[in-house]
């Protein structure tokens, strides 16, 4: 089983971010070496990325994703740096694949940004019974992509979208910076023998044996993340069972064990399960801990071939046990 940060995992996480975004829109961006029109002092750094942006007027910097929220209109702007080639990432924005995630494609068009390839996509979605509009702008090259997502409640004044587009136009990329992968995260984890930090997507850290985005060998995958949307979990046991069964690309999930757990003062649930890799049909071990806050949760999840379970279950316990809120 190839549990690398691969095309299918990156795209799955990207669509997941599009679904969970509160509310936001796109526009463009420019490399810092080419932009030059925005004063750096006017820009806000987005933690864990090489990106800086001019904050939209009246909006607050989000504390659980790279972007901004508007408490008055519930609009949001999320900007994500992805370790995926532009062509690879954008080819999945089709009617069928978006519909499978509950989004309807309204329109899309090519839109270059400086030296970068670009694609603007308009979507609609029903989120928790509410109709929302999303405007997504993706730009990048063969090495990386930037995804800017604006989400608005249906009926929100057009002036809000205009403000979000202006903010996205101000994005700069500092190609000389190398931010720490856990910069700005509210927690820390210690690496293990087979689990090294590989990359970060928004507030999600991904670990693998090589500590690289696309290592050549097979092996386990571990991720840690904080819920983006503010949500109160009323029935944590049921929520945990549903959440582990939503693990991407693992089918025929069978939960073998579940128990209460507490880490860094947060109560939660630990589940162990086995399933089958949807692509390779290889038997798969799935490990998950959910830690609950008043209005959200943290997830610690490990996936490995069943053949590696004796080793990796211990390492999943080790890295999860090192979780500490800052």
Nearest to 164 by CA among 56, 49, 42, 249: 56
Mark which of 173, 195, 221 sits at the end of a domain. Answer: 173
Q: Are residues 210 and 96 in the same domain?
A: no
- CATH classification of the domain holding 97: 3.40.1000.10
pLDDT at 33: 35
- The number of folded domains in the chain is 2
Mark which of 149, 173, 197 sits at the end of a domain. Answer: 173
Q: Are residues 227 and 294 in the same domain?
A: yes
Q: How far is CA 54 from CA 42, 59, 178, in A?
A: 6, 11, 20
Q: Judge whether 201 lies within some domain.
A: yes
Q: Are residues 140 and 243 in the same domain?
A: no
Q: Judge whether 178 lies within some domain.
A: no
pLDDT at 217: 54
Q: Are residues 142 and 200 in the same domain?
A: no
- The H or E element containing residue 76 is strand 75-82
pLDDT at 27: 32
Contact, 12 vs 248, CB < 8 A? yes
The region that residue 140 occupies, defined by phi over 0 for left and psi between -120 and 50 for alpha, beta otherwise, is left
Q: Say whether 97 sits in a helix, a strand or coil.
A: helix
Contact, 271 vs 254, CB < 8 A? no
Averaged in consecutive runs of 10 residues, what is the pLDDT profile of the chain (326 residues)? 44 54 37 38 86 91 89 90 88 86 90 91 83 90 92 89 87 89 93 93 90 71 88 91 91 96 97 92 96 94 95 98 97
pLDDT at 215: 59
pLDDT at 98: 87
Q: Are residues 129 and 250 in the same domain?
A: no
CA–CA distance, 295 with 261 (Å, rounded to integer): 18
Decide the pairing of beta strands 171-173 and 29-31.
parallel
Domain with 217 in it: 187-325
Q: Judge whether 61 lies within some domain.
A: yes
Q: Are residues 296 and 165 in the same domain?
A: no
Q: Are residues 33 and 102 in the same domain?
A: yes
Q: Judge whether 209 lies within some domain.
A: yes
Q: Judge whether 1 lies within some domain.
A: no
Buried b / exposed e over 128-154, threshold 16 CB at 10 Å, is eeeebbbbbbbbbeeebbbbbbbbbbe
Contact, 40 vs 173, CB < 8 A? no
Non-local CB neighbours of 129 within 8 Å, separated by 6+ positions: none
Instruction: Give the burial class of 188: count Cβ atoms within 10 A of its Cβ; 0-12 exposed, 13-18 middle, 19 or more buried.
Output: middle
Q: Are residues 119 and 168 in the same domain?
A: yes
Q: Are residues 157 and 211 in the same domain?
A: no
Q: Judge whether 182 lies within some domain.
A: no
Q: Are residues 134 and 197 in the same domain?
A: no
């Amino acid at each position: 089983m190839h549990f690398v940060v691969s095309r299918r995992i990156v795209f799955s996480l990207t669509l997941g971010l599009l679904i969970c975004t509160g509310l936001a829109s796109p526009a463009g961006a420019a490399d810092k070496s080419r932009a030059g029109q925005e004063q750096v002092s006017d820009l806000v750094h987005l933690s864990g990325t090489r990106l800086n942006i001019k904050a939209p007027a009246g909006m607050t910097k989000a504390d659980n994703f790279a972007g901004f929220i508007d408490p008055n209109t519930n609009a949001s702007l999320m900007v994500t740096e992805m370790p995926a080639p532009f062509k690879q990432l954008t080819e999945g924005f089709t009617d069928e694949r978006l519909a499978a995630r509950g989004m309807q494609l309204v329109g899309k068009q090519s839109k270059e940004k400086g030296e970068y390839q670009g694609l603007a996509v308009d979507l609609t979605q029903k989120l928790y019974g509410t109709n929302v509009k999303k405007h997504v702008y993706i730009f990048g090259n063969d090495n990386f992509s930037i995804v800017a997502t604006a989400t608005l409640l249906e009926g929100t004044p057009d002036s809000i979208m205009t403000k979000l587009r202006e903010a996205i136009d101000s994005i700069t990329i500092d190609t000389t910076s190398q931010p720490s992968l856990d910069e700005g995260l509210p927690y820390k984890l210690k690496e293990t023998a087979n689990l090294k930090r590989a990359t970060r997507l928004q507030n999600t850290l991904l670990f693998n044996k090589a500590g690289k985005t696309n290592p050549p060998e097979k092996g386990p995958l571990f991720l840690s993340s904080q819920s983006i949307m503010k949500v109160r979990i009323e029935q944590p046991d049921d929520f945990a069972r549903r959440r582990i069964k939503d693990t991407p690309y693992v089918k025929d999930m069978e939960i073998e064990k579940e128990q209460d757990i507490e880490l860094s003062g947060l109560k939660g649930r630990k589940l162990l399960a086995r399933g089958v890799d949807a692509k390779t049909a290889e038997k798969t071990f799935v490990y998950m801990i959910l830690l609950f806050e008043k209005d959200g949760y943290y997830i610690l999840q490990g996936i490995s071939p069943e053949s590696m379970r004796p080793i990796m279950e211990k390492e999943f316990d080790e890295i999860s046990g090192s979780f500490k809120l800052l």
